[in-house]
Amino acid sequence: KIRTTAGEFNAGDLEEAIRPHVQELVNEAAPYLEGRRFLVFTPDVGSADAVASAFRSLRRYTIRCRSVCGADADRAETVARFKAGEFDGLANCNLLTEGFDEPSVDAIVMLRPTRSRSLFVQMVGRGLRLYPGKRNCRVIGFNWRTFEGKELVHPVRLWDEPGKPHPDPYLKAARELGV
pLDDT of res. 167: 53
pLDDT of res. 102: 97
Average pLDDT across each block of 10 residues of the chain; the chain has 179 residues. List them in order: 86 88 91 95 94 95 94 93 97 92 96 87 93 94 55 46 52 49
CA distance 69 to 17: 20
pLDDT of res. 168: 53
CA distance 131 to 56: 27
CA dihedral for 144, 173, 7, 164, sign (positive or negative): positive
pLDDT of res. 151: 46
pLDDT of res. 34: 93
DSSP state of 158: S
Contact between residue 103 and residue 129 where contact means Cβ atoms under 8 Å apart: yes
Contact between residue 116 and residue 8 where contact means Cβ atoms under 8 Å apart: yes
The pTM is what? 0.81
Q: DSSP 3-state assignment of 43?
A: coil
CA distance 98 to 63: 25
**Backbone torsions φ then ψ of 174, nearest 5 degrees:** -65, -40
